[in-house]
């Protein structure tokens, strides 16, 4: 139905299911068939149990291509202390550009978003899971990563918002993910990467603020230790 309305990618939320390695072949066949028939990439969030290790994983199904995976880098303690963090980026070419994948709490940190920006990603696809009460803060924190690193973001969160934002931080479309039994959001977003000053200079503003604070504190200490003037 979404493809018939013009969707060019579909992002499902984080941790839709727990899947053991023995069942991934059957799961992949099901979703890969759907991606092939719809002619769009499909991003599915789940927990993948492999032997003694578990991963918070996004599986990426692109039409007529091998399945790719992304493992969440920044895990949420203590709820995800039993999971293994990922260490690599996942990108694929689509629509003449490069798209990437991250998961939920990854967007609270500089990386991997900064690394995706340096890789020239134009659109970041983010399965997520919020806790209703934090949906505004946590969901919109992710928008800043797109401003810093020059890409649009499609974020689909259980217990939160379905949000589409561009590389200037503009919310192009948004809806609560619990607004319907199966909530959907369809929006157009630019998917071209744009270089940013932040990618070149990094956290320069933060370091300047730290240096200014140190200078002000040092000045106050000197003033307090100076002998009184007569």
State pTM to two decimals: 0.90
What gap in Å lies between CA 23 and CA 46, rounded to an integer?
Answer: 12
What tens-digit pLDDT sequence spans the chain (230 residues)? 899 999 999 999 999 999 999 999 999 999 999 999 999 999 999 999 988 899 999 999 999 999 999 999 999 999 999 999 999 999 999 988 999 999 999 999 999 999 999 999 999 999 999 999 888 999 999 999 999 999 999 999 999 999 999 999 999 999 999 988 899 999 999 999 999 999 998 888 889 999 999 999 999 988 888 777 66
Which one, of 194, 191, 196, lies nearest residue 98 by Cα?
Answer: 191
Owner of token pair 């240096």: 211
What gap in Å lies between CA 53 and CA 68, rounded to an integer?
Answer: 18
Q: Which residues of 177-213 are buried (b: 16+ CB within 10 A; e: fewer)?
A: beeeeeeebebebebebbebebeeeeeeeeeeeeeee
What residues have CB less than 8 Å from 162, skipping those under 6 apart? 155, 156, 173, 174, 175, 176, 177, 183, 184, 185
Q: To which H or E segment does residue 20 belong?
A: strand 18-20
Q: pLDDT value at position 223?
A: 83
């Amino acid at each position: 139905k979404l493809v018939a309305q013009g969707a060019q990618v579909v992002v499902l939320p984080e941790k839709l299911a727990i899947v053991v390695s023995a069942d991934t072949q059957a799961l992949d066949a099901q979703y890969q068939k759907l991606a092939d028939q719809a002619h769009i990439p499909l991003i599915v969030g789940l927990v993948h149990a492999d032997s003694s290790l578990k991963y918070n994983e996004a599986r990426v199904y692109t039409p007529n291509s091998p399945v790719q995976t992304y493992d969440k880098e920044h895990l949420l303690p203590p709820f995800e202390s039993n999971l293994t963090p990922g260490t690599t980026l996942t990108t694929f070419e689509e629509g003449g550009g490069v798209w990437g994948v991250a998961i939920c709490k990854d967007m609270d940190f500089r990386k991997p978003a900064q690394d995706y920006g340096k890789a020239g990603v134009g659109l970041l696809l983010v399965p997520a899971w919020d806790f209703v009460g934090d949906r505004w803060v946590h969901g919109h924190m992710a928008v800043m990563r797109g401003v810093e690193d020059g890409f649009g973001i499609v974020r689909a969160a259980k217990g939160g918002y379905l949000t589409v934002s561009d590389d200037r931080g503009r919310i192009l479309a948004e809806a609560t993910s619990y607004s319907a039994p199966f909530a959907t959001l369809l929006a157009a977003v630019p998917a071209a990467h744009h270089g940013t000053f932040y990618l070149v200079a990094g956290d320069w503003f933060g370091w300047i603020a730290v240096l200014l604070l140190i200078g002000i504190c040092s000045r106050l200490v000197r003033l307090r230790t100076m002998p009184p003037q007569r």
